[in-house]
Chains A and B, each alone.
Chain A
């Protein structure tokens, strides 16, 4: 098991408060000793909140392998009945994860204010996979999976007192932060939307950080960032996992320095992405000032519909959006293929992005929860399982649609409403999840696309796609224009498929 040698030092059940002299920013050792009444030979001691009978002990002396509170699972050691709180539990990822973790034995709680439902409705769109109301969802998860979810309807930005109370009541041992607006185009609609996205994301998260400091400082925040924070540097330099490695060197004026530990440059491509970049800095600072622990998960573009848990009952399905604001690219392509709308590439279609399937993202999150960061540790993972150009993805979707589902799929290039590089080098580094946390992708791109066709060709869902097809072609321009993009070119599909087989 990859996390067997972790000790109480990593464990959220540890109580280190006031017993360890964390010296970030050069705090004086003498002051700390005086305050704590320690002599020069003091040793680090801690208490365990789960096993108070241990009294004061050396927190490095017990490993997960030795501790009865950590139990073996398919994803390494997991803390028994771990209390995990998911912010944004009603969303595409949040709902999938709460069922996943609950089924693994975690004691799950969740917060949502249905923003996502409201935003999608406001745009006149809907989730094409029908989802139940929360009360129905909670009932079904208990009935079908025996997962009890402690849910509270709270707006994390505007109802901070209530969130504070809930965190205090639950005392989560990990907080998964999915409670942000995930849409670039939504943030580019107008000033009101840009403001809403930045306030909700940046200030919502800032509040959570303060609450963690005050109530659960040993818990970890696993927060969703995005690969889009980095942009696509035209120099072609590698896109590191958030932080420069020590052997990345800056050379200037015949001198050189290690860049190790500095945050890598960010190049956000929308006001939404800017909010994610700002979050990164807020989380880094919170870890630095208060020794909070955080994983910043730079997720590639997510796609897919399947986990065993959401597929267990129609009432447990997670949402799937295909509109121009909330539909991610592969999800949108499959929907287009099913109703005979040419798959839309923006501009050249040569943009390259990292991708990850829904169930693999869930696996990654589980592995991170089981390997909490050390005190004050801010760590970044690039969460993706492969990278492709959008055009290659369109071909893959077209090929599966045509060969497996007998659909006459077409591909078109349209004007690009975004401001972004359309041809660029792309060398992402994404090795930490597999090297340190034991992540192995469990499904291929083709398999998950097949799963999606299989679900979305269901007549009821197909009808729901038809109903909202006018929201697929973008009308939101980064320039502020509001008009439907024009088609530039329709591809010869046979040729495209031939290309994809090369």
Chain B
């Protein structure tokens, strides 16, 4: 995994809640096959949306703080944050097109 996309409980606030641009956060677990298979898709989207939307990944076992705060009950859970607020959430594997839809729709509604 690309390390610059990995975040932890310690920098969650800085990276996500205080971000000036929207952030798509993937809450994932190493034991979760759909989580594993989302990684390459998220890497691609990270490049595609570079500068407009940040893509970040947080491991739910290593980071109980964020996991519990956002009541993550299944993996992967994808949450789109804007101005520190949760504006969209999806649970389960998402295709690249489904992710684009989430990002693009929410970008419009959050304007």
- Report Cα–Cα, A29/B71, bound state, in Å: 10
Asked whether any CB of chain B lies closer than 8 Å to the CB of A24, the reply is yes
Q: How far is the CB of B54 from chain A (nearest CB, A)?
A: 19
- Report Cα–Cα, A258/B97, bound state, in Å: 9
The reply to whether B31 and A377 form a contact with Cβ atoms under 8 Å apart is yes
Chain A interface main SS type: loop
Q: How far is the CB of A11 from chain B (nearest CB, A)?
A: 13
B-contacting 9-mer, from A143-151, A214-222, A245-253, A328-336: A245-253
Asked whether any CB of chain B lies closer than 8 Å to the CB of A422, the reply is no
Q: How far is the CB of B77 from chain A (nearest CB, A)?
A: 11
- Report Cα–Cα, A22/B62, bound state, in Å: 9
Asked whether any CB of chain B lies closer than 8 Å to the CB of A288, the reply is yes
B-contacting 9-mer, from A40-48, A205-213, A413-421: A40-48
Q: Of B8, B37, B98, which one neighbours A243 at CB under 8 angstroms?
A: B37
Asked whether any CB of chain A lies closer than 8 Å to the CB of B35, the reply is yes
Asked whether any CB of chain A lies closer than 8 Å to the CB of B50, the reply is no
The reply to whether A260 and B37 form a contact with Cβ atoms under 8 Å apart is yes
The reply to whether A24 and B32 form a contact with Cβ atoms under 8 Å apart is yes
The reply to whether B31 and A40 form a contact with Cβ atoms under 8 Å apart is no
Hey, which chain A residues are within 8 Å of B61, CB to CB? Answer: 20-23, 44, 375
- Report Cα–Cα, A373/B92, bound state, in Å: 22
Q: A373-B30, A375-B31 are in contact. Are A259 and B93 (CB under 8 A)?
A: yes
Interface centre among A42, A43, A263 (most CB of B within 10 A): A43
Hey, which chain A residues are within 8 Å of B96, CB to CB? Answer: 246-247
Hey, which chain B residues are within 8 Å of A245, CB to CB? Answer: 37, 40-41
The reply to whether B29 and A258 form a contact with Cβ atoms under 8 Å apart is no
Asked whether any CB of chain B lies closer than 8 Å to the CB of A100, the reply is no
Q: Of A22, A26, A260, A375, which one neighbours B34 at CB under 8 angstroms?
A: A260
Query: By the criterion of a CB under 8 Å from any partner CB, how many residues of chain B are at the interface?
Result: 33
- Report Cα–Cα, A26/B32, bound state, in Å: 11
The reply to whether A22 and B37 form a contact with Cβ atoms under 8 Å apart is no
The reply to whether A261 and B34 form a contact with Cβ atoms under 8 Å apart is yes
Q: Considering the complex, which residues of chain B in the window 34-74 have a beta carbon less than 8 Å from any beta carbon of chain A?
A: 34-38, 40-41, 60-65, 67-68, 73-74
Q: Of A24, A41, A261, A374, which one neighbours B93 at CB under 8 angstroms?
A: A261
- Contact pattern, A 24-65, Cβ under 8 Å of B = 1, otherwise 0: 101001000000000011111000000000000001100000
The reply to whether A288 and B31 form a contact with Cβ atoms under 8 Å apart is yes
Asked whether any CB of chain A lies closer than 8 Å to the CB of B105, the reply is no
Hey, which chain A residues are within 8 Å of B32, CB to CB? Answer: 24, 261, 376
Asked whether any CB of chain B lies closer than 8 Å to the CB of A291, the reply is yes
Asked whether any CB of chain B lies closer than 8 Å to the CB of A378, the reply is yes
Asked whether any CB of chain B lies closer than 8 Å to the CB of A379, the reply is yes
The reply to whether B29 and A23 form a contact with Cβ atoms under 8 Å apart is yes
The chain B residue sitting closest to A244, CB to CB, is B37
Asked whether any CB of chain A lies closer than 8 Å to the CB of B95, the reply is yes
Hey, which chain B residues are within 8 Å of A473, CB to CB? Answer: none
The chain B residues found within 8 Å of chain A, CB to CB, are: 3, 8-9, 29-38, 40-41, 60-65, 67-68, 73-75, 92-98
20 contacts between A and B (CB under 8 A): A20-B61, A23-B29, A24-B32, A29-B67, A42-B64, A44-B64, A246-B41, A246-B95, A248-B95, A256-B95, A260-B37, A260-B41, A260-B94, A261-B32, A261-B36, A261-B93, A291-B31, A374-B30, A375-B31, A377-B31
The chain A residues found within 8 Å of chain B, CB to CB, are: 5, 9, 20-24, 26, 29, 40-44, 59-60, 243-249, 256-263, 284, 287-288, 291, 373-379
